[in-house]
Amino acid sequence: AASCTVMLQALSDRGHITAARDVYDSITDKNVVVGTAMITAYSQAGMPTHAQEVFDSMEEKNVLTWSSLMSAYAQARQMPQAENLFQHMPERNLVSWSTMISGFAENGDLENARCCFDSMPEHTQAAWNAMAAAYTFCGHLEDAKETFDDMPDRDQISYTAMVQSYAQNGNIGEGISLVYAMPHRDAKTWNALMAALAQKGHLDRARRVFDAMPESNGVSWSAIVSCYAQTGRGESGVWMFAAMAAEGFPADQVACLSGLVAQTHIGRVPQCCAFFRSMQQDFGVAPLAEHFLCVVDLLGKAGHLERAEELVETMPYVPH
């Protein structure tokens, strides 16, 4: 069951939720860990009902299992169900409280988010960070800053989230100052800064951050591809996408979407279609509706209306 958990997660990360479920169903010696992993996979796919069904079928459950299902409802913006679980779970821990803070915030309910924060028995670093992020999410940037200032300690997440908060506020200067004022900068910090610069239209400065960052990860590459794709620099985007793979960072659904958008800007139908096939065959990435629509868009613009319609019909999604 342990190796199946790993496989299940790998499939889920690439968006293959059905395949992940097939793996789960094939396991004869299911345990609480793999069951919880399946619930998490459904949570990430935005399928709380399926998560519930797995939960109900499990014989053994622990606090992680309950938390995981709660998170599935919270992320799907079904707070009444999440609250109900929270109230009835046999064991509640500090992670559960943090989940509720974020869940309420993502539903625009700052009062309940704050109430959870104030009610929890102890303020972990994650709880502080969740509360600050709650304010940022709801556009209360002053309160986010105040929460940040009130923190007894700060970790990488606290700082990076604050950089993002400044960026969202249009206050990129403060964000840059904070990046250089914080004790340690990691890849995620640089990524946040790069994205903030790109969003402000400073593509060249974003690229310089990318080139200079001492640590990078797959998201760094994905972000730079996105920078080019968003600004219509298709060739550069496609080039960086290829470089990402060459550097050993496998593309995920987000990176592939940016790659496809870059292809759309180039406008060559055969290359775009080849990319669409390659993302599935070479990277094992399952196309989301967004990926399909991107290709459909290009086919339509290029006058291939019939092919566009055919593709829509093969989509495993309901077209709007």
The answer to whether residue 218 forms part of the interface with RNA (CB under 7 A) is yes
The answer to whether residue 58 forms part of the interface with RNA (CB under 7 A) is no
The answer to whether residue 219 forms part of the interface with RNA (CB under 7 A) is yes
The answer to whether residue 6 forms part of the interface with RNA (CB under 7 A) is yes
The answer to whether residue 62 forms part of the interface with RNA (CB under 7 A) is yes
Interface pick for RNA out of 21, 45, 71, 172 (rule CB under 7 A):
71
The answer to whether residue 252 forms part of the interface with RNA (CB under 7 A) is yes
Concatenating the DSSP letter of every residue in the chain gives -HHHHHHHHHHHHTT-HHHHHHHHHH-SS--HHHHHHHHHHHHHTT-HHHHHHHHHH-S---HHHHHHHHHHHHHTT-HHHHHHHHHH-SS--HHHHHHHHHHHHHTT-HHHHHHHHHHSSS--HHHHHHHHHHHHHTT-HHHHHHHHHH-SS--HHHHHHHHHHHHHTT-HHHHHHHHHHSS---HHHHHHHHHHHHHTT-HHHHHHHHHH-SS--HHHHHHHHHHHHHTT-HHHHHHHHHHHHHTT----HHHHHHHHHHHHHHT-HHHHHHHHHHHHHTT-PPPPHHHHHHHHHHHHHTT-HHHHHHHHHH-SS---
What are 291's two structure tokens?
């990926």
Interface pick for RNA out of 17, 20, 23, 37 (rule CB under 7 A):
37
The Cα 194–Cα 202 span in angstroms is: 9
Range in contact with RNA (rule: CB under 7 A) among 18-26, 61-69, 200-208, 273-281: 61-69
The answer to whether residue 1 forms part of the interface with RNA (CB under 7 A) is yes
CB of 144 to RNA, least distance (A): 10
The answer to whether residue 144 forms part of the interface with RNA (CB under 7 A) is no
Interface pick for RNA out of 95, 115, 266, 302 (rule CB under 7 A):
95
**C-alpha 201: how far from chain center:** 23
The answer to whether residue 12 forms part of the interface with RNA (CB under 7 A) is no
49/232 with CB nearer RNA: 232
- Total of chain residues touching RNA, rule CB under 7 A: 77
Q: Give whole-number Cα distances, 249 to 95, 207, 229, 244, in Å.
A: 30, 18, 18, 6
Interface pick for RNA out of 222, 236, 237, 285 (rule CB under 7 A):
222
CB of 207 to RNA, least distance (A): 14
Range in contact with RNA (rule: CB under 7 A) among 48-56, 189-197, 233-241, 302-310: 189-197
Q: Give whole-number Cα distances, 221 to 67, 163, 187, in Å.
A: 32, 19, 11
The answer to whether residue 245 forms part of the interface with RNA (CB under 7 A) is no
Range in contact with RNA (rule: CB under 7 A) among 47-55, 60-68, 169-177, 304-312: 60-68
The answer to whether residue 189 forms part of the interface with RNA (CB under 7 A) is yes
Interface pick for RNA out of 10, 19, 31, 203 (rule CB under 7 A):
31
Interface pick for RNA out of 10, 19, 32, 115 (rule CB under 7 A):
32
The answer to whether residue 287 forms part of the interface with RNA (CB under 7 A) is no
The Cα 27–Cα 22 span in angstroms is: 9
Interface pick for RNA out of 93, 112, 171, 278 (rule CB under 7 A):
93
Range in contact with RNA (rule: CB under 7 A) among 46-54, 108-116, 172-180, 249-257: 249-257
The answer to whether residue 192 forms part of the interface with RNA (CB under 7 A) is yes
81/93 with CB nearer RNA: 93
